[in-house]
Structure 1
Amino acid sequence: MTTHSSGDRPRVLVLGAGYAGLTAALRLAPHARVGLIDPGHRFTERVRLHELAAGVRPDVSHPLSGFLHPEGIEHIAARATAIDPAGRVVATDDGRRLPYDRLVYALGSRTAPAGERAHTAHTAETAADLSKRLQDGPGSVAVVGGGLTGIEFAAELAEARPEWRVSLHSEGGVGSGFSPRARDHVLGVLRARGVRIEEGRRIEDPGSADADEVVWAASMVPNAELAAAAGLPLDSSGRVRVDGTLRSTVYPEVYVAGDAAAASSARAGALRMACATAMPMGSHTAASIISELRGRGPRTFDYGYLIQCVSLGRRDGLVQFVRPDDSPRDRFLTGRLAARVKEQVVRSTVGVLRTAARRPWAVPLVPGMS
Structure 2
Amino acid sequence: MTNIVILGAGYAGMAAAIQLAARNVQVTLVNASDRFTERLRLPMVATGQEVADLRIPELLAGTGARFEQGWVTSVDLGQRTVSLEDRKIKFDILVYALGAVPDTSSVPGAEEYGYTVEDALLLPDRLAMAEHVVVGGTGLTGIESAAEIAARYPSATVTLVGRSAPGNNMNPRARKYLQKALERLGVRTVVGSIDKVLPSGVRVNDEFLPGDVFLWAGGTKVSPLAAGIETDARGRIVTDGALRSVSHPFVWAVGDAAAIRQPYGIMHGTCQGGMPTGVHAALSIVRTLAGKEPRKFRFGYYHTPVSLGRGDGVVQFTHGDDSPRRFYLTGRLAARYKEVVTASPWPTYRRMKRMPASGAFWPRGKRS
The question of a shared fold, defined as TM-score above 0.5 by the shorter chain, is answered with yes
1:320 to partner: Cα distance: 0.4
* Residues 277-334 of structure 1, C-alpha deviations (whole Å, 9 max, x = no match): 1111111110100111222012211100111110111111111011100011111110
Letter in 2 for 1:166: V
Matched, 1:89 2:100: no
Residues of 1 paired with 2:197 and 2:352: CA distance? 41
* Residues 25-84 of structure 1, C-alpha deviations (whole Å, 9 max, x = no match): 1110133111111121110100000111122x2235401121111343111112222222
Match of 2:193 among 196, 199, 202: 202
Matched, 1:261 2:254: no
Q: 1:10 matched to which residue of 2?
A: 2
Q: 1:341 matched to which residue of 2?
A: 337
1:368 to partner: Cα distance: 4.1
Change (3 A) 1:162 1:311: same
Residues of 2 paired with 1:205 and 1:186: CA distance? 27
Letter in 2 for 1:247: R
Residues of 2 paired with 1:315 and 1:181: CA distance? 19
Residues of 1 paired with 2:365 and 2:308: CA distance? 25
Letter in 1 for 2:226: A
Q: 1:226 matched to which residue of 2?
A: 225
1:238 to partner: Cα distance: 2.1
Letter in 2 for 1:37: V
Aligned residues of 1:122 and 1:216 also touching (Cα < 8 A): yes
Matched, 1:281 2:277: yes
1:351 to partner: Cα distance: 2.0
Aligned residues of 2:237 and 2:253 also touching (Cα < 8 A): yes
Q: Percent same amino acid among aligned pairs?
A: 39
Change (3 A) 1:205 1:31: farther
> Larger deviation: 243-252 or 86-95?
86-95
Change (3 A) 1:178 1:236: same
Letter in 1 for 2:246: T
Which secondary structure state, in structure 1, belongs to the residue aligned with residue 186 of structure 2?
A: coil
1:269 to partner: Cα distance: 2.5
Aligned residues of 2:114 and 2:214 also touching (Cα < 8 A): yes
Compute the TM-score of the two structures, normalised by the length of structure 2.
0.92
* Residues 316-358 of structure 1, C-alpha deviations (whole Å, 9 max, x = no match): 1111011100011111110111111000011102221232233
Q: 2:133 matched to which residue of 1?
A: 141
Q: 1:365 matched to which residue of 2?
A: 363
Q: How does 1:174-185 map to 2 (within 5 A)?
A: 174-185=166-177
1:119 to partner: Cα distance: 2.8
Aligned residues of 2:41 and 2:51 also touching (Cα < 8 A): no
1:156 to partner: Cα distance: 1.1
Q: 1:5 matched to which residue of 2?
A: none
Q: Tell me, which stretches of 5 or more residues in structure 2 are unaligned? A: 203-208
Letter in 2 for 1:139: E
1:364 to partner: Cα distance: 1.8
Q: 1:34 matched to which residue of 2?
A: 27
Residues of 1 paired with 2:126 and 2:52: CA distance? 18
Q: 1:250 matched to which residue of 2?
A: 247
Residues of 2 paired with 1:70 and 1:241: CA distance? 33
> Larger deviation: 22-31 or 57-66?
57-66
Residues of 1 paired with 2:53 and 2:271: CA distance? 15
Letter in 2 for 1:232: I
Q: 2:93 matched to which residue of 1?
A: 102
Match of 1:313 among 293, 309, 329: 309
Compute the TM-score of the two structures, normalised by the length of structure 1.
0.91
Which secondary structure state, in structure 2, belongs to the residue aligned with residue 364 of structure 1?
A: coil
Residues of 1 paired with 2:69 and 2:350: CA distance? 21
Letter in 1 for 2:115: H
Change (3 A) 1:349 1:247: same
Q: Tell me, which stretches of 5 or more residues in structure 1 are unaligned? A: 1-8
Matched, 1:329 2:328: no
Residues of 2 paired with 1:195 and 1:326: CA distance? 26
Q: CA RMSD in A?
A: 1.7
Match of 1:46 among 36, 39, 44: 39
Residues of 2 paired with 1:345 and 1:355: CA distance? 16
Q: 2:205 matched to which residue of 1?
A: none
Residues of 1 paired with 2:343 and 2:293: CA distance? 34
Residues of 2 paired with 1:204 and 1:355: CA distance? 48
Residues of 2 paired with 1:71 and 1:319: CA distance? 34
Residues of 2 paired with 1:140 and 1:342: CA distance? 28
Q: 1:111 matched to which residue of 2?
A: 102
Aligned residues, how many?
A: 354
Aligned residues of 1:13 and 1:104 also touching (Cα < 8 A): yes
Which secondary structure state, in structure 2, belongs to the residue aligned with residue 281 of structure 1?
A: helix
Aligned residues of 2:72 and 2:84 also touching (Cα < 8 A): yes
Which secondary structure state, in structure 2, belongs to the residue aligned with residue 315 of structure 1?
A: coil
Matched, 1:354 2:350: yes
Residues of 1 paired with 2:96 and 2:195: CA distance? 31
1:366 to partner: Cα distance: 8.6
Residues of 2 paired with 1:299 and 1:37: CA distance? 26
Q: 1:4 matched to which residue of 2?
A: none
Residues of 2 paired with 1:349 and 1:134: CA distance? 29
Q: 1:168 matched to which residue of 2?
A: 160
Aligned residues of 1:45 and 1:61 also touching (Cα < 8 A): no
